[in-house]
């Protein structure tokens, strides 16, 4: 394949059929995929990865040179593992990927030593810690991106990668940070890789990349302004009923050159109005009205969800449902043994080769140990880091060093699922991103948060940069757009008349039906 055409950038809102469109593009392009090169499909969650694999698997036999995975799994497999040690002698040849960031390791180290260093000292220690981790082969979540970006700066590595990758498809492109964008740009400039990116800037979450300081400089918007990218708008919403689509359009009317983005409802179903549930303080009091709306639409429990920005609000929802909840399916089950194995090794401060040699075990023995840990998590013998350490000591006579933190909740979500037919999905908005249900109850913690969710002015939404709340206008949009048939909004605090007026102007039904939809009264 010679020089390729300019990359395609598709701006597509919620429910636009992004995955369906990408799958069509992939199947069409597979006819031209050379046997010695790869087609890469990357996204940002394991659930999205599994969804793409499932859809493709129904239509074709997935060839071995088609890779579908998260951005980190792509970088690890195609750049960090094969190349990072070649140009950087400080990186160990054997890599062990751990479920936390460098800052998490640093915090654990300071907590264990009772230290509170100043900013400069912290950065100096962090630099030394990063080098130490690399020498031992430990790759934290954030270092995958750093090592990938640094490796591709090497001209020879960049050429080899471009020769290896014939097609690159990037889903949820709005979440691509500067480091990944620099890798995409490196491939674009080599003119050997066909690039297709799809995303929605209104669903950008800054916490995925703290290096972006100005919303207008996020990669998807930068690319949309570049002549090197062919930008197209997909304005169809195939997910939600018309009342929800109309409500969502209040928050997404961005102008691309002379083209305003505004979705059209594909299914032409009018639907019931978006509802504000006025009950406050107690989520238990909100549930009857939410459930009543679900019953009216014959929506099953498994298709109902409660989402919020703050985890303490999520915890209140879990308590209101007596713990009978489902977590979003963000993990591919097949990775459970590998995730547990890597967690065990990193907690012990070793790697697979050293561990097996020291203990006189084989990699298969290590997998058996991981399976035992999985069973203990399912049986709730392991419920936190302390019980994890106790189990490892009692069962394997091994001592956890406690220097590398891990998130047991993430591991539990990989291996444990609730099969109760009346369980409701409960989550924070970040984890629910990319998913959808028939009915959503979005709960704001306070009126200030709710008003940020309801901000409609594009310039104001873009300019909002207060530390800790810069994503709130877009988080509201993400929450609202998860709903197919029923959308309810609530707030744990009483709201003012001004906020009620704002809701009414947006077509939201309050205590009495709104005049925005007179045909529904």
Annotated binding site for ATP, which residues? 12-19
Helices (H), 167-250: 178-190, 219-224, 242-248
Binding residues: 12-19
Q: Are strands 255-256 and 259-260 parallel, antiparallel or unpaired?
A: antiparallel
Q: Residue 297's closest CA among 269, 325, 267, 320?
A: 269
What are the φ and ψ backbone dihedral angles of 27, each rounded to 5 degrees? -60, -40
Residue 504: is it exposed, middle or buried by C-beta count within 10 angstroms (0-12/13-18/19+)? middle
Query: How many Å is the Cα radius of gyration of the chain?
Result: 24
Rounded to the nearest 10°, the torsion over CA 248, 250, 255, 256 is 0
Question: Residue 506 has what DSSP assignment?
Answer: T
Name 436's Cβ contacts closer than 8 Å, sequence gap at least 6. 14, 15, 239, 482, 483, 484
Distance CA 438, CA 240 (A): 9
- Please list the residues that pair with 18 across neighbouring strands: none
Inter-axis angle of helices 178-190 and 141-152, nearest 10: 30
Q: How far apart are the first and last CA of the chain?
A: 61
DSSP string, 457-485: -HHHHHH---TTTTTHHHHHHHHHTTEEE
Helices (H), 264-407: 283-296, 311-320, 336-348, 352-359, 363-378, 385-396
């Amino acid at each position: 394949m010679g020089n390729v055409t300019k990359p395609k950038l598709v701006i597509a809102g919620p429910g636009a059929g992004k995955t369906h469109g990408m799958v069509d593009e992939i199947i069409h392009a597979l006819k031209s995929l050379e046997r010695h090169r790869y087609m890469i499909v990357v996204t940002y969650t394991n659930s999205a990865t599994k969804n793409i694999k499932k859809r493709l698997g129904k239509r074709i036999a997935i060839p071995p040179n088609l890779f579908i995975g998260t951005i980190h799994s792509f970088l690890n497999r195609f750049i960090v593992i094969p190349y990072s040690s070649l140009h950087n002698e400080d990186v160990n040849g054997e890599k062990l990927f751990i479920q936390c960031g460098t800052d998490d390791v640093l915090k654990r180290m300071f907590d264990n030593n009772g230290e509170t260093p100043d900013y400069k000292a912290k950065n100096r220690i962090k630099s030394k810690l990063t080098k130490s981790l690399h020498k031992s082969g430990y790759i934290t979540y954030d270092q995958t991106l750093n090592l990938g970006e640094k490796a591709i700066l090497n001209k020879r590595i960049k050429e080899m990668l471009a020769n290896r990758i014939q097609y690159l498809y990037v889903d949820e492109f709005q979440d691509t940070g500067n480091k990944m964008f620099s890798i995409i740009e490196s491939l674009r400039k080599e003119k050997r890789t066909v690039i297709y990116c799809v995303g929605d800037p209104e669903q950008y979450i800054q916490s995925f990349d703290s290096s972006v300081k100005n919303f207008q400089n996020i990669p998807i918007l930068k690319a949309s302004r570049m002549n090197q990218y062919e930008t197209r708008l997909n304005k169809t919403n195939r997910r939600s009923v018309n009342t929800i689509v109309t409500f969502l359009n209040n928050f997404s009317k961005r102008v691309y050159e002379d083209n305003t983005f505004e979705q059209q409802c594909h299914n032409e179903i009018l639907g019931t109005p978006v509802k504000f549930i006025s009950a406050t303080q107690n989520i238990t009091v909100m549930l009857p009205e939410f459930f009543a709306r679900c019953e009216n639409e014959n929506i099953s429990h498994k298709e109902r969800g409660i989402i919020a920005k703050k985890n303490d609000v999520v915890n209140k929802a879990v308590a209101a449902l007596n713990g009978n909840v489902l977590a979003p399916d963000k993990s591919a089950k097949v990775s459970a043994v590998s995730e547990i194995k890597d967690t065990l090794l990193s907690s012990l401060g070793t790697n697979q080769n050293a561990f097996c040699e020291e203990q006189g075990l084989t990699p298969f023995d290590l997998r058996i140990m991981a399976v035992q840990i999985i069973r203990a998590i399912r049986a709730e013998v392991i419920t936190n880091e302390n019980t994890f350490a106790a189990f490892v000591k009692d069962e394997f006579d091994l001592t956890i060093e406690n220097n590398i933190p891990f998130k047991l909740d993430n591991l539990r979500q990989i291996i444990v699922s609730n099969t109760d037919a009346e369980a409701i999905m409960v989550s924070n908005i970040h984890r629910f991103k990319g998913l959808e249900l028939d009915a959503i109850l979005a709960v704001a913690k306070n009126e200030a948060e709710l008003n940020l969710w309801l901000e409609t002015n594009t310039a104001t939404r873009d300019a909002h940069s207060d530390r800790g709340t810069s994503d709130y206008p877009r988080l509201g949009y993400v929450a609202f757009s998860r709903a197919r048939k029923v959308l309810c909004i609530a707030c744990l605090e009483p709201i003012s008349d001004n906020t009620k007026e704002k809701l009414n102007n947006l077509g939201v039904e309050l205590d009495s039906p709104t005049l925005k939809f007179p045909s529904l009264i």
